[in-house]
Amino acid sequence: MKFCHVHKNMDVQEIKQRFGIIGNAPGLNRAVEVAVQVAPTDLSVLITGESGTGKESFPQIIHQFSARKHARYIAVNCGAIPEGTIDSELFGHEKGAFTGAVAERKGYFEEADGGTIFLDEIGELPLSTQVRLLRVLEAGEFIKVGSSKVQKTNVRMVAATNVNLPRAIEEGRFREDLYYRLNTVPIAVLPLRERKDDIHLLFRKFAGDFAEKYHMPPIRLDEQARSILENFRWPGNVRQLKNITDQISIVEHERLISADILKRYLPEYTDSQLPMLYRGTDEKNFGSEREILYQFLFDLKKNAFDLKKDMNDLKKLVFDLMRDGSHTPDFQSAHSGIIHDLYNNEEPPKPFPEQPVNKVHLTPVDIQDTEAVEEESLSIMDAERELIKKALMRHRGKRKLAAKELNISERTLYRKIKDYGLE
């Protein structure tokens, strides 16, 4: 059996070397073993782990150790495809199916027939696409956009996500039935902070690769710098470690890196490295100027709404008092100053108006200051537009980096760029 053949002729260390996986953490080795064991089957696999942990290596292991290794392997980043075109990308479309569909097009599931398709960031898929995907998993069928013809496909599906899918299910953003179909075999990739012994190994590998590429001596760490490196939390995981290693390699002239030098490249470094405090979902936590601005605008709008509501309630109270027959007709003249300020130079209602049967009367509470509301909405939109514009400028138009800074998906950023005319 092919499964046994793999284990007899290639151990975990050789597999890691072949696919560029560095580290000896038990959790990492276990993930590699599971990938090899499940490879000869056609079971769906869901790979979970934080961004930057190296999840993309495991679908390749699964494909290379399967009977499909000579067929196509296609990797798709679901978060990088705009919502309006994701169905066409995955399942294809017929000519004339939508504006711009000048010819028939094959989708990834048709192109990968007989092979393996890797769906990265699957938590970003819209619900309508999730329904189509579920049909592929359950029946091996799909329908092109603009077609009524059912097509068959024989594709091995491997998915990955850094999203908490059970929470997304509770929030109605991900289908529960699709989750269980994908999660037939789960593989969890550890974050770097749980692989402390691997951190220095990775650093040396990245430093050596950079030195070889640019023909310079590799950088090294003194004992204190190594201790700092291994105890840093690494929120960006392996990707962040590689970027920082490359930065130090090119910027610093000294090849032996001290603790003081290393600290300059570690964001928000603290000597104590205290555990992160848990913050509930209702607790305010401002991580950037952008979040402070959003909160300020939200509070401003909320306060304006509350003030407008109070003013309308007060106007209604005065209106009711003026129309109440138990009060004298001199009520308005006796309180003319208050009424003048309350109605802000507007014409106040008459104390005892005649009420024709067929005439519709509007009370002050019915009158909405739409201009003020529109101005509030426009100011918020302008602020958001400026934030997106500056983020794009900082990253020289690279939408993926801009979306990461703005803490929104690439699909949402793509839509807002189009809405605000920033293309």
pLDDT tens-place values along the chain, 423 residues long: 344 444 444 689 999 999 999 999 999 999 999 999 999 999 999 999 999 999 999 999 999 999 999 999 999 999 999 988 999 999 999 998 888 888 999 999 999 999 999 999 999 999 999 999 999 999 999 999 999 999 999 999 999 999 999 999 999 999 999 999 999 999 999 999 999 999 999 999 999 999 999 999 999 999 999 999 999 999 999 999 999 999 999 999 999 999 999 999 998 764 444 444 444 434 444 444 555 555 555 566 556 666 666 667 666 666 666 555 444 555 555 555 555 555 555 555 555 444 444 444 444 444 444 444 455 555 677 778 888 888 888 888 888 888 888 878 888 888 888 888 877
Question: Which domains are seen in the chain, by residue range?
Answer: 2-190 (3.40.50.300), 194-263 (1.10.8.60), 291-368 (no CATH), 372-419 (1.10.10)
Cα angle: 212, vertex 215, 220; to 5 degrees = 65
Q: Side chain identity at 189, as an amino acid letter?
A: V
204 in Cβ contact with 159 (< 8 Å): no
E strand residue ranges, 178-275 = 185-188, 220-221, 256-257
Query: Rounded to an integer, what distance in angstroms lies between the CA atom of residue 221 and that of residue 199?
Result: 12
Question: End-to-end CA distance of the chain, in Å?
Answer: 55
pTM over 0.75: no
Q: Side chain identity at 63, as an amino acid letter?
A: H
403 in Cβ contact with 413 (< 8 Å): yes
E strand residue ranges, 78-191 = 116-120, 141-143, 150-152, 156-161, 185-188
Query: Rounded to an integer, what distance in angstroms lies between the CA atom of residue 67 and that of residue 237?
Result: 32
